[in-house]
Chains A and B, each alone.
Chain A
Amino acid sequence: MMASATNEGPPRLSIRNVAKTFPGVRAVDDVSLEVRRGEVHALIGENGAGKSTLMHLVAGVYQPDSGVIELDGASMAGLSEQGAADAGIAMVYQERSLVGALSVADNIYAGRQPVNGIGVIRRAPMYDGARRILTDLEVDIDPRTPVSHLSPGQQQMVEIAKGLSHDLKLLILDEPTSSLTINEGRHLFRVIRRLAEQGVAIIYVSHRMAEVFEISDRVTVLKDGRVTGDRDTALATHEDLISMMVGRELSFEPDMRRAAPDAAIALEVRDLAADPVVSASFKLRYGEIVCLAGLLGAGRTEVCEVIFGARPLQSGTILVEGRELNPRSPSDSMAAGISMLPEDRKESGLFIDFTIVANVAAANLPAYTHGGLLSSSEMRGVAQHYADELRIATPNINREVRNLSGGNQQKVLLAKWLARRPRILIVDEPTRGVDVGSKADIYRILRELAASGMALLVVSSDMLEVLAIAHRIVVMSEGRVAGEMDASVATEIAILELAAPTARQESAA
């Protein structure tokens, strides 16, 4: 732990009663937060707690609906991303914002390269400036190197260097260590400490507890868009923070109807590996909902994609009803009775400009084909059937899917895959971006499907959702199955403890 820096004058960053709503979601709700000069302030919370949205508000990516954000006492209202950067705020994203083909120096001075009278870049001063900043960061990179030649850790240093090329006042780091090696992580921590000593305020967004304890002076916990607590890190305990991240009411009663424990096994996965999945083994019975829980990047989606044939299997075995399945494309898995709703319904699930009918038919075209011809009346019949059964709110089934709400789009996606009458249904994030009403509908539908004997494998990052719908919970962490528990005995804390990455914790301790 480092010494706290001096605290004169207004706080470096002051956030007061800030709120931001997206259609159907109150992402940030009446949040207040202060960060002083030289303070390393950790911001923690579950996936979807509003951490990223809050940081985007600070960095000028979004504008708050209400509330005040001040930097050194000056209002940030109406500042764009560029304006916030000029004011001295730098944000290092999880996903990088560098241009791979350009040199390190070009990236550091993106859009502000020193030029001569006719607009030609003056290379020497640019390279010198970049070299100075990089040396300051103890990074040994030639500023003429294309960024695409650098390691993830070096790229991150370039991002920070980009911030330093302005007069840096506030540095926001969003999950900075997730793609770094341990040594790169140590180096980053040294740099953070030095910047803090120089008076830079730092917001460190993470869900790695060990890092929070090691690097931060204060910690604020966000949950469902609200601040549930803040502490001096020195006075906080691990249990303390976890209970602030969790504690909330269950609004959906857990489903106590269990699948018969002797029901036939629909799907078994043994030692499945496919980068970044290291090893996953679990079983899924008919009539059962198994949830894959874990943090973002734990490899849950990838496991599902492998089973569905959308990602190559590197090693391990997939058994469907005891028969080995080695899918080389989704159609192989579909033939084995598997349907899968992908996580990103607009990118990979739906044909957003097409009608409900065309979407519901998409995965099942051969069923409506007679002598090579598609029967549009059959397609309409099936679409109408599911529109009624799943209660899709639409004036008619010839509506383009882009005009539907998120919840109804999700139901269309569900209809598309139920129309194949699968025996095994994989659902990746069943209610992401879905309103509360449709959420309840979707839970009811998933439960009914399980009750009718279907085997369901559900990936969810929403703990509440996992506890509400799962019969059994398989927790993944860093590409491995970290544990498994019956839903009747599961708690959010137990799941989080299994899900937390361990390797880093040890190295940082």
Chain B
Amino acid sequence: MSSDTRPDDLERLDAVGQPLEEPPSKRARGRRLLILVATERPLLLIMLIVVLIAGMAIFAPDTFPRPANAAVVLLDTAQTGILACGMMLLLISGMFDLSIGGILAFSGIMAGLAAKNFGFPPIPAFLVGCVWGVLLGAINGTLVTRFKINALIATLATLSVYRGGLQLVSGAGVTNIGNDFTVFGQTKILGIYSPFWFMAVIVLLFAFLVGRTRYFRQAYYIGGNARAAKLSGINVDRTVFSFFLIMGLLAGLSGALLASRLNTAVVLAGQGVELKVITAVVLGGASLSGGVGTIFGAFLGVLLMALLQNAMIIAHISPFWQLIVVGIVLLVSVGLDQFVRIRLRT
């Protein structure tokens, strides 16, 4: 019984199977544009970003549109942007990682210890952080793909384990890591600190990988219908495992980068970052049921959140209101999409 049969779709075809074009009236065109903006998340985000920038340029011409402020906003996108690439990949596959804050902090500590206590040169110390992230990601991936524990629960548990573990290793964090190690986080290129450039390269790389390569595009099939993907010959478990490794790598790199930027590995680094990243990624068009989303969208989500925060700081709006506004923006953009889709179906 095909309850999804939609004869009305076929009626809109003419004899040779071409869609019948009604002459678009002005109102119809306006309506179609509205629907497009509401359902194509990147368009909506770009619109919001443009409106926000224009508004701030008018209301705060002395502070907001200056290069120094732009550099602040862009630097603010660095950590969330890097993490959002991995999180978007997982969400497209219908997966999830709540433990990234723990991985980030733990990896920062490991990199800091390697540099300060074991005298590693900067690059090997930085790599220690990255590799540590991959290892922790491998634990998540094993729990999810091998032991079939729901990703949400598995990473909720490992978040706790990683946070506890890093304090066992180094209860006070690692301060004054050493001047050489700061090269990754404190170098300025074109007036912007290096974490932004790390993020820019990673976002471009992932946009390419997820947009064009077969291996990464498998994520859409897995998230769209895991059973059908398996029956289509896709090795679902291995692929998902590798995505957890990638998420771990990106979280580890973020941790090492943060330690380098502060010259200190902080125990509480990345506290709450997982929710911030998931907010940005969902804002960017991901769905918790998987199968949709783009890296570009994720970046726009990150950028919008950074701009909002910056705008509200400049406007002296209380930090509590900032949280409320972020929540409302998320609800409105996802709700608008759902609302228009339901209206379109009926």
Contact = CB atoms under 8 A, between A and B. Distances in A.
Interface of A: 22-25, 27, 308, 310, 329-331, 334, 340, 342, 346-354, 358, 362-363, 365-366, 368-369, 372-374, 393-396, 402-406, 409, 416, 433-435
A406 B5 contact: yes
Given A22-B3, A395-B12, A403-B9, A372 B214 contact: yes
A388 to B, nearest CB: 10
A403 B229 CA distance: 20
A330 B1 contact: no
Contacts of B232: 330, 362-363, 416
A22 B221 CA distance: 30
Contacts of B234: 331, 362, 365
B18 A395 contact: yes
Given A351-B291, A373-B212, A402 B17 contact: no
A393 B225 CA distance: 24
Contacts of A406: 2, 4-5
B224 to A, nearest CB: 4
Given A331-B235, A354-B221, A372-B213, 6 more contacts: A25-B1, A329-B230, A349-B228, A351-B221, A396-B19, A433-B1
A395 B13 contact: yes
Contact of A351 (B213, B214, B228): B228
A22 B9 CA distance: 17
A262 to B, nearest CB: 33
B18 A23 contact: no
Contacts of A363: 232-233
Contacts of B231: 308, 310, 330, 340, 342, 348-349
A24 B5 contact: yes
Contacts of B213: 369, 372-374
Contacts of A340: 231
A395 B225 CA distance: 25
Interface in B35-83: none
Nearest to B236: A329
Contact of A358 (B3, B7, B9, B220): B220
Interface residues of B, number: 35
B220 A405 contact: no
Contacts of A394: 17
Contacts of A342: 231
Given A330-B233, A363-B232, A23 B3 contact: yes
A403 B220 CA distance: 19
A334 B6 CA distance: 33
B229 A362 contact: yes
A291 B7 CA distance: 31
Interface in B215-242: 215, 217-218, 220-221, 224-225, 227-235
A368 B214 CA distance: 9
B214 A353 contact: no
Given A362-B228, A373-B214, A23 B7 contact: yes
B214 A369 contact: yes
B213 to A, nearest CB: 5
A391 to B, nearest CB: 9
Interface string B321-341: 000000000000000000000
Contact of B1 (A27, A402, A404): A27
Contacts of A374: 212-214, 217
Contacts of A396: 19
Nearest to A335: B233
A369 B225 CA distance: 21
Contacts of B3: 22-23
A400 B232 CA distance: 18
What are the nearest 5 A-B pairs in CB distance? A406-B2, A23-B5, A433-B2, A331-B233, A351-B224
Given A24-B2, A351-B224, A374-B213, A405 B230 contact: no
Contacts of A24: 1-2, 5
A291 B10 CA distance: 32
Given A310-B231, A331-B235, A365-B214, A405 B224 contact: no
A434 B5 CA distance: 9
13 contacts: A25-B1, A310-B231, A331-B234, A354-B221, A362-B229, A362-B234, A365-B214, A365-B217, A373-B212, A395-B18, A404-B9, A409-B2, A409-B4
Given A362-B221, A405-B7, A347 B215 contact: no
A331 B232 CA distance: 8
Contacts of B212: 373-374
A350 B214 CA distance: 18
Contact of A354 (B7, B18, B19, B220): B220
A366 B214 contact: yes
Nearest to B291: A353
A342 B228 CA distance: 9
Contacts of A347: 225, 227-228
A395 B17 contact: yes
